[in-house]
Amino acid sequence: MLIGVTGNIGSGKSTFCKFLRLKGFKVINGDELAKSFLKKGHEVYDKVVKTFGEEILNGEGEIDKKKLGNLVFNNKEKLEELTAIIHPFVLETIEKLKKKKETIFFEAAVIVEYGWQEIFDAIVTVYAYRGQRLLRAAKKFGLKNAILRDRMQLPYAVKFKYTDYLICNTKNLLHLKEQSERLIEQVTE
């Protein structure tokens, strides 16, 4: 069973997925997977450098993800160019995961944005209030970038249409952990 875990920036997807890992489940982080394709030697690397120029490279000739992020998250067209390069490789990986006989969770904020919800056997949406999300995301990206990234994501009203399991992350870690345990019971019945 392949289960997608989605939710907007700062919702607590990664923390929720840590609880799943602690229970022994395999969790693939979509952002980390996409970043792995950006390494020198992968064909995605060549296409990204050709598209966005050598100014996105660091001193070792690797793609500087912060430079690339600043470039694409401030420009919707550039973000679409980047996703057009990376997403075929992400989708290929998802298709391979789907063939496995174990329960695997795939964490990605943009499952619904890119119409991938049909690929998964179930969708878990992690929800938090916008203010909570922006405070959490600002710690990692800065407030300005957190707001920009949040604006590029679909509102929860759209994501809820495809949600099979809702995780409400508006309280504390203990509450989130309890919800992860309940979800595990439901998907392993």
**Residue positions in the annotated binding site for ATP?**
10-15
Rg for the chain, CA atoms, rounded: 17
Q: What amino acid is encoded at 108 in this protein?
A: A
Task: Give the Å distances, CA to CA, from 179 to 20, 124, 182.
Answer: 10, 11, 5
Distance between start and end Cα atoms, the chain: 12
Binding residues: 10-15
Tokens 């060549």 found at: 46
Cα–chain center distance at 184: 20
Q: What amino acid is encoded at 43 in this protein?
A: E
